[in-house]
Amino acid sequence: MGSTSAENHGRPGTGRRDLIKRSAALGLISAPAMGFLSACASSGGGGDEDKAKAGKKTAKNPLAVNDTAQMEFVLFDGGFGKEYAEDAVKIYEKNFPKAKVKFAATQKIQSTLQPRFNQGTPPDLIDNSGAEQMDMGVLVGKNQLADLTPLLDAPSYDDPNKKVRDTLRPGIVEMGQFDGNPVWILYYAYTVYGVWYSQKALDSLDEQYPETWDQMLAVCAKAKKKGMAGWTYAGKYPYYLPFSLYPMIGKVGGREVLDAIDNLEPNAWKHPAVKACFEAYYELYKKGYVLKGTPGLDHIQSQTAWAKGQALFIPNGSWVENESANVIPADFDLAVSAPTGLDSSDKMPFGTIWASGGEPFIVPAKAKNAPGGMEQLRVMLSEASSKNFTAKVKSLTAYNGGTEGITLTPGLKSGVAALEKAGDNVVNPRIQDWYVQLQKEQIGVAGLGEMMAGRLTPAEAISKIQAFADAAAKDSSIKHYKHQ
């Protein structure tokens, strides 16, 4: 969720969102400098001799951080901004007054940091999100990430009797795993993906959120009569469409359909549930219910058109409330819903939603001060830092709680209600973090983007996407992952 957004946002992630996550980025804000001096740096590229010596392990310093070593932290500068991270850095500096923290925020994660990974001189903590997210599967496959188990097994910041892992939301630890035990990624934000809309606009149509596709088409027809499109989306980055389409596929066909897609199984995309959902979305295009010009819009432009009331629904992640705060009217009454299904024959109930970690934080294997990077994350996973994030950016964190005493914004309140409604019916497609290129460029742009622009039929889009998935499954240069 950080926007990008999803970029992961987003995550993507988250995905995400994260994430993601996830959204596509507009230009460089500030690039981290390439040089890096640590307390015990020597010249050369990232051998153990460059690493900061361990500090003294104490109750207040369970990860044995060297209290004089520099810690370098590079954040993705997306929909969540950088203030929450800067606030957490101040706590780190207060706890280790002799340590210098070098903090930078940028949208150019890959172009700035990939060369430093290759040289063996990466920062100590990275928020690997946005359109320029480094491919997580590749980083894991090349052994370029540190295992975060020491962080997860450390006492939590607030309660020494509770491990960090015991304070996290369900699914967060598992999302950071690729093959069994090591945990390579800590998704900091918790993203609710779904269909976002103005409750006020829906009320003005005298309609409820549609639970079946026939109802969805009827609501869109009504909106069209009032001069409002039913849908818009980030046409230039159509990998936003799965934020509502994937959970719809899971709802219609069951979780196993999404698992088969994640596992790159032959013919996974040819499942009847996939076909039915693609055809449903294509109907939005065929009936003229998609805002004119949408295929040419980026995430910010589509969100702005939607906030201005030009379209009723937009598929997105919960970072959208913060990312669009300057264009969403005060009386908009932002809401999110789990995706509309087909009909009563769907395998999972209405309310089935995609929610998962966004904003993937990583500590590189060759970080000079890996304990410092992990300690910064431990600080961020405290109740105070979590509340600060939620209050400032209108999103939940991986910390399971942190909403008490905060006045929840309309979107956040709606997201929490959607999670409560979903109960156990939360799906978490992994393809967006296991196979970034496949998800973004091939499924997103070449498949769904082309279909929603009317340049491919659903059958052609499915056939094309299945071919991409088959090619990825056969490509020995790609590390493959499977649901355990």
At 402 the pLDDT is 84
Q: Write down the pTM of the prediction.
A: 0.77
Task: List, in order, residues 6 or more apart from 398 with CB less than 8 Å away.
Answer: 168, 169, 172, 186, 187, 188, 189, 190, 357, 381
pLDDT in tens, 331-386: 999 999 999 999 999 999 999 999 999 899 999 999 999 999 999 999 999 999 99
3-state secondary structure of 367: coil
| pLDDT mean by block of 10 residues, the chain; 484 residues | 39 33 27 28 47 92 97 94 97 97 96 94 96 88 95 97 94 85 93 96 98 98 98 97 98 97 97 98 98 97 98 96 94 98 98 94 98 98 96 91 88 92 91 90 96 98 98 93 84
pLDDT given at position 20: 27
Given this model, what pLDDT does residue 48 score?
60
How far, in Å, CA of 45 to CA of 357, rounded? 32
- CATH fold group of domain 48-191+356-422: D-Maltodextrin-Binding Protein; domain 2 (3.40.190)
pLDDT tens figures, 193-235:
999 999 999 999 999 999 999 999 999 999 999 999 999 999 9
Residue whose token pair is 């188990």: 149
- Domain assignments of the chain as residue spans, ordered by start: 48-191+356-422, 194-354
For residue 173, give both structure tokens: 């630890």
| Yes or no: domain 194-354 corresponds to CATH 3.40.190.10 | yes
Q: Is 194-354 the same fold as 48-191+356-422?
A: yes
- Both tokens of residue 216? 């969805």
